Structure 1
Amino acid sequence: MITSIRLELYKFKKQKHVNVVLCGTIVFYFLMVALTIFKPGYFEKKLMVENSFSTLQFLPLIIMIFASELMSAEFRLGTIKNLIVTSKSRLQIIASKFIFLLIIILSLFLGILLLDIFISFFIFQESIQSTIMKYTLLWVFGTAIETLLLGSLVFFLSIIFKNPAIPVTIGVLVYLLVGLVDGMNFHLISKLKFLRWNVLNLLNFKAQLIDHSLQNYTKLSLTDFSIGISLYIIFFLMTSYVVFRDKTI
């Protein structure tokens, strides 16, 4: 298993677009930091720090792209047969790739959080001594959990569709629909309580971490969110294995 994860890391580092995306994200982060410093009238410091200088909203999109490539790239490059032969089982392939995805998510969000703390300490000193960092931590944590759910969905879809554009498109649509259909979603949930467990509602986890009054609309406690998200992730993983196990290569 460890060898398989190391192999995933090696392949990850060899992908040129990975370095481009990560470097682009870092450049964008520091550009927004600079604008917050020099254009305070346009960018409110409190909100910018809490939202990791507008970078958090792009991280789920980046992870979904990476997740779609984990399996799609193997099919596209024709390495999937060799991977099956060298691995002990197809379950190991699914498990190692998901663990690698989890490592990438943890690394990316931990890196952003450390950058937030570093920047806040040296440039916006007062934010360290206020509740701003508390909300920053909630934003980062909440987004990371939602990203793990979206990444699991896209990973599962990438096994069904060899073209990575399809899983990413579906994942992005789900991600964007959360804010667009919340009103209708909440209305339906008020009529039919079981609908509170739908994926779009669970993607309000971050928002409810920040504003607990949202529970009046989602009809879910934070514990319910944790259970629901965990069950969906497990379902996507189990289904991924079943589909891949029965897939003719």
Structure 2
Amino acid sequence: MTPAPPRSIRSLPMPRYRAAGAACLAMALTVTLGACSSKEEPKKKAAPTCPAGNPKPSRTVAWPTMYANVYNASDSKGEAATVARRLGWRGLNLLEVANDPLADDRPTPKYAEIRYGKSGRTIALNLATQIPHANLYQDERADPTVDVVIGNDFTLTPQPPRPIKDVKVAVFNTTFQSGLAATVSNQLAKQGFHSEAKANDRAYYPDDTAVIVYDEEGLPDAQRVQMSIPGSRLLQDEKANVSMTGRDVRLYLGSKWLKGGKVAPLSQATKAPGSSPTPSC
């Protein structure tokens, strides 16, 4: 029998412990190289939860001369439309109303962020007086428009009640006292309200002196009427099952209105009803 040719050193089988060691080394190199080559995603910076106070604007800018985009960066759907409507009531001109287009690039504000260009700084500072704890961010835009970006704790400074001469109120009688609506309406008119008596109403308020019904936009005017009607309470139109729009106010005289009762004298109608305080950080 012809002997088999000798095998070369390279063809000799590798001992088991060497094979296992080589496999482990290859795996370790793969993991190490993979870790070195992978790029970590940069973490998004957190917005200041309580920014330093903003400086006062050098001059007052009227809201009807300002133009703003309203963007939602909060967790609540539809918040941009809600806030835009409230800003519009104050006179702000609205441009785009949408979700925040820079949500991936800018920190999410806790309260709000106002973005503006160099020519819009005074406008941004004026807006910031009505938006507590807003962060200010200057970008490269050339026009004076601004962006109002809404955070989860966004709020607006409550509007003070308007002067009496600007308030319209319709007076309804829900009691058995004849001519009561006309009597109270005349008293309000003498104080300067735009007051009008309406026909008796089917609404029934047995436990109230008076109920002041308003649309959300008309809250400041409703508060002004409440200052003149002792013991009255405010009720938004949705809860009163009536549909109202704008600032007009309805005054429903309830069963507990005293016979011969009068509206408060102007000298006593000076303290505004309690309003929500500005949230602290």
Give the greater-gyration-radius structure (CA): 2
The reply to whether TM is greater than 0.5 is no
The one of the two structures with greater contact order (alpha-carbon pairs below 8 A, sep at least 6) is 1
More helix by share: 1
TM-score for both structures, normalised by structure 2: 0.22
More strand by share: 2
